Amino acid sequence: MAWRCSATSLPQLGRLKCSYVLVCALLAALWSSGAKAGLYSPIDQVLVLDSDSVSRVFNSSSALMLEFYATWCGHCAAFAPVWRSLARDISEWKPAVDLGAIDCANEDNRKVCTSFGILGYPSLKFFPAYASEDSTGEDLRGFPRDVRGLRHLIIDKLESHKEPGPPACPPLEPASAAEIDSFFENNNVEHLALVFEKNSSYVGREVILDLLQFENIAVRRVLSSEKDLVSRLGVTDFPSCYLYYTHTNYSRLPVIGEARAFYSFALQRLPGVVRAGKPLPTISGQQNNSTGEPWREFNRTRVYMSDLESALHYSLRVELSAHSNISGEALTALRHYISVLAKYFPGRTAVKGALKAVDDWLQKQEEKEISYSDFRTALDSTVLYRGYPCAVWTLFHVLTVQAKASGSTDALEVLQAMREYVGSFFGCRPCASHFESMAQDSLSHVTTPSAAILWLWSRHNRVNNRLAGASRTEHYHP
């Protein structure tokens, strides 16, 4: 759904208006209302971690797949429904493996994310069962973005898990005829289900894990190459599922279709098969307003100074903190970024003074490398707040207008500072790559401050149109 937005709340912007899709405003609202709640809640069956609870990834009896995300990141917001669907899809697997998430946009969590080496979002890491406290997990680069692919990835990680593995994880390897023949001598269950399949199929392993929380039944995977069992039971279809009791007492499981969902549904409802333990308690997902003030709808037609200051807060105090030391092109990018902020940021006197002080300090540094801790010291007197949604876009829109209004003749001063900052520090790396592609394509055509303003708006609109299919939720703030 498209909305018409105009930036009219700051007098310096005059009558600058632009019509564009509401993706940016959506993310701004998402950040302002979701900075504390993040993209997930307990009702999503995702283990929501923070700086106080992240220690749960260590010395756990179950493995954990953990997503590191930022609430403001459009790619994270687009991936969140997939992560939620995956959590629901494998909810029965929880004794062996769990899904978690931690919001790196929350400043309280930033130190944790940095310690795990997170520079871009979303990032996935796999933590094996009984991971040591110095473990940073296994980076899962290029991970699938669909439920099926992620489900298979989890199975691969469980199968390759080093000892000791999750105690609750049942055998996932193929069973032999000898194992099946002696199964009831060593196991006290009523039903044994055999899923016959080809080696490349994941159906058998998925069904094994789907039945993990159920008692009085066991599931084993049998490959089509196990000729003895295949011949004995007369198996001709792969996959297919059989209930096996003795070498003369077996039958094919009657299902509508030969697929994981039908097998798991039917097996969970066999006589005598019951769920182990107690059902999980119901958790309300209602977000309460504890401010004492009535909620009022977010006004998407305005540019709020709090959003501009939130962009400063996040970029300087959170995003930069991922870089312990800053040198080379990154240091040059930081100098340019702070310089245009000090010149053109239209904020409160105290904030403008703080930016000027930081700029002066930075320009005096003669070393080829500075530490973030030293840079942070120069920021200690700065009071900046709130989140980091599309406020960074809005910030640079304002800076381009302020540059023109101040009489600047350098058409690329602000845009080049933005390009360097995004390229060096912006946490959403796919976003940074896309912005750099746009800059390489046409930034050289910008020759006046007015053209700089229009170039940034046109590229912002292009990004919004590209992301226009994202899911939409109404957000409010007090």
Active site residue 73: yes
Active-site position among 5, 76, 113, 241 = 76
Active-site position among 5, 24, 73, 241 = 73
Active site residue 390: no
In three-state form (DSSP H/G/I as H, E/B as E, the rest C), the secondary structure along the chain is CEEEEECCCCHHHCCCEEEEECHHHHHHHHHHHHCCCCCCCHHHCCEEECCCCHHHHCCCCCEEEEEEECCCCHHHHHHHHHHHHHHHHCHHHCCCEEEEEEECCCHHHHHHHHHCCCCCCCEEEEECCCCCCCCCCEECCCCCCCHHHHHHHHHHHHHCCCCCCCCCCCCCCCCCHHHHHCHHHHCCCCEEEEEEECCCCCHHHHHHHHCCCEECEEEEEEECCCHHHHHHHCCCCCCEEEEEEECCEEEECCCCCCCHHHHHHHHCCCCCCEECCCCCCCCCCCCCCCCCCCCEECCCCCCCHHHHHHHHHHHHHHHHHHCCEEEHHHHHHHHHHHHHHHHHCCCCHHHHHHHHHHHHHHHHCCCCEEEHHHHHHHHCCCCCCCCCCCHHHHHHHHHHHHHHHCCCCCCCHHHHHHHHHHHHHCCCHHHHHHHHHHHHHHHHHCCCHHHHHHHHHHHHHHHHHHCCCCCCCCCEEC
Q: Is 45 left (phi over 0), alpha (psi -120 to 50) or beta?
A: left
Residues with a catalytic annotation lie at 73, 76
